[in-house]
Structure 1
């Protein structure tokens, strides 16, 4: 039973409640210039009013309502949102993730900020008035048994002999009212802050688009590294293995294999620089150009030097293929030959490239030998990468074994827009 009052007192008088009270006082301070402006303007239309010392409570509330109009207009300024969001994060205990970080860009965001600013200044103005007026009066009431009832107070309320008991209780109740009002107003602002200062639907859509772009770039880097560097490492491994096996009995072949290793690693370093250039923020890197089908012959030579047997049928005019299609087709051929080197056990590979009116066809075939080189554990990104490259160009790909032959077939539209 004792824990409940302690929790209530902690919530109303704890650090968070005190910071929210400061936030409310900040709203009252921000309201003052608008209040003085509205008071001055209204005095032009009501000459008999006392501008500096108004005695009518209705006049004060009328001025307060009029002061909120220019305050709302001021909040339409784009930087008002991050300024208010910073104050809310620091004083109201609202998590940073629930509030927008940047300035208002759309009219919907500006309207939400104006609504929040108006609510903040209204609650702050009322809370500031209570904080200034109520505690001194409550202190007088609490001290009344010692100092006596102020002149006119007893006659006004006709308390008779009850005033020594009631005055301190009324004073304590008034202080409790101030504390409770501050807690309620602070909690209300903290609840509405994510709604009015949080990300709008446009903010979430923009963040989703940025996230999608980051994922697309990351996937592109992964594909490029897998296809270029992965192919080079596979070829170098097989070339080094072949050179080691025949080093003593066929030195000439070993020299050719070492030369192929040198050429393969040199091109791999150039392609790695190209891929890493995508990660740099200081402008494009001075790296080797991305390979296309015009470099197909070099790819075939390196594959043969690694111990693979490749028969190629390709038409003339590969240089006329659109660069994007040619680049993706080269990577697809590269990955297909890498898979054959790793998994086909030295079986001959037939590569066919055909140009049609509307698309480019790439097909690779190799017989599947029982008991050939076992598939490596892990990995498995080659075929999904090929399918993704084809899909990005609105093409198609199929891969699988049929009648003892492994077939990879890809079609890439020549005029299709990349997704």
Structure 2
């Protein structure tokens, strides 16, 4: 008996009962409008004392409630109430945010109509049955109460033994009411994940948000890899060269230290820009992060490897997003040449600015012998391909028969930056 009482009157049951009472309160404005409609068609009927009239008013109220629940803001309010009072299992998620799609609004409308409909019935039963059951339970103990009941009791029930059954009958009424409230609350809790849960459009929107967040992370990872990785490679080689000639050629060592200073200072500025994007939650579409092709001269002067640079066309006319991505592609290509190319061999860089396309070609001599695998490497070329793909372009990279590693990229100039996925 105790488990049954716990299910009927436990904390979860009481919260669900309260949730139904809230639904009954939300129904009242619609119900009062419904009584006006019923009164217009049956002016001689007292709606508040006639059960058929009350049911007719309820039938008028529910469609009005359903229509108002089609508003997008109805779903967050319903979800908040359901989470607080319905006692849902943690593995039954509900949707967050307003209902934007038609399917979400229709589902929320169905939930709200079910909530206020059941809530109106349970609220009416609570208001009517609780005082009546209490009076029935008090009949054997209150003569004045018995005298008021006698005129309304059928003669067949006007017997002394009826008074003996009155307390159990009143208690049974209250238990029946609790059972109805528990069943209605369980029905609402079971329907909540279906009617207030995420729709396919909600799941798609959530997947798009996760993809956008992942794209920002990948974007920032590429920026850090290209700027910081290039700087560290250049600084490492320049510091090693300065250490080897420190005693024999102090002037070269001084120039190497100056290049290290300039490289680190520039990289710190780029790192601050990337971290600023991280604090802001990403960057706007099409907004370039860091320098563009206008800063190519400074990059070539401090990259740590001799570069033979030729340009066909004016790099300054390249649109900002394309210019920023092209700069990073060249920077990563120079980093790869610095780390994996033949020491001391010049790198040839050609930039072709056409009417509709930007071409980048970077050739670096390969060292003699078989290639040496570098643990943890291999992300630079992937990042270059991703940058070109964002602009609708293509890249090619690999060794040629003449012992040269070629990196080539073609970037359209009239294509907007795609969404970063």
Give the TM-score normalised by the residue count of structure 2.
0.83
2:92 matched to 1:91? Answer: no
CA 1:240–1:375 in structure 2 vs 1: closer, same or farther (change >3 Å)? farther
1:294 — aligned with what? Answer: 294
The one of 340, 344, 363 equivalent to 1:343 is 340
Q: Conserved in 1, the CA contact under 8 Å of 2:337 and 2:347?
A: no
Counterpart Cα distance in 2 of 1:328 and 1:79: 42
Q: Conserved in 1, the CA contact under 8 Å of 2:92 and 2:193?
A: no
2:6 — aligned with what? Answer: 10
CA 1:316–1:358 in structure 2 vs 1: closer, same or farther (change >3 Å)? closer
Q: Conserved in 2, the CA contact under 8 Å of 1:24 and 1:120?
A: yes
Q: Conserved in 2, the CA contact under 8 Å of 1:82 and 1:102?
A: yes
CA 1:133–1:261 in structure 2 vs 1: closer, same or farther (change >3 Å)? same
Deviation at 1:329, TM superposition (A): 2.0
2:130 matched to 1:131? Answer: no
CA root-mean-square deviation: 3.4
1:8-407 mapped onto 2 (5 Å cutoff): 8-51=4-47, 53-54=48-49, 56-94=50-88, 98-106=93-101, 108-142=103-137, 151=150, 155=154, 163=162, 167=166, 170-281=169-280, 290-303=290-303, 306=304, 308-344=305-341, 346=343, 348-353=345-350, 355=352, 359=357, 360-370=359-369, 375-401=373-399, 403=401, 405-407=404-406
- SS of aligned partner of 1:406: strand
Deviation at 1:34, TM superposition (A): 2.7
User: Which stretch has the larger CA shift, 288-297 or 219-228?
Assistant: 288-297
Aligned length: 407
Deviation at 1:382, TM superposition (A): 0.9
User: Which stretch has the larger CA shift, 343-352 or 227-236?
Assistant: 343-352
User: Which stretch has the larger CA shift, 125-134 or 141-150?
Assistant: 141-150
CA 1:47–1:315 in structure 2 vs 1: closer, same or farther (change >3 Å)? closer
Counterpart Cα distance in 2 of 1:21 and 1:250: 88
Counterpart Cα distance in 1 of 2:373 and 2:344: 14
Counterpart Cα distance in 2 of 1:348 and 1:59: 97
CA 1:289–1:125 in structure 2 vs 1: closer, same or farther (change >3 Å)? closer
Unmatched runs of 5 consecutive residues or more in structure 1? none
Measured against aligned partners, the alpha-carbon deviations of 1:164-192 in whole angstroms (never above 9, x if no partner) come to 67655544443332122111111111222
2:412 matched to 1:413? Answer: yes
Counterpart Cα distance in 1 of 2:394 and 2:19: 60
User: Which stretch has the larger CA shift, 25-34 or 244-253?
Assistant: 25-34
Counterpart Cα distance in 1 of 2:338 and 2:126: 81
User: Which stretch has the larger CA shift, 207-216 or 19-28?
Assistant: 207-216
Counterpart Cα distance in 2 of 1:358 and 1:282: 32
Give the TM-score normalised by the residue count of structure 1.
0.83
Unmatched runs of 5 consecutive residues or more in structure 2? none
Q: Conserved in 2, the CA contact under 8 Å of 1:336 and 1:364?
A: no
Deviation at 1:226, TM superposition (A): 1.1
Counterpart Cα distance in 1 of 2:289 and 2:207: 32
- SS of aligned partner of 1:278: helix
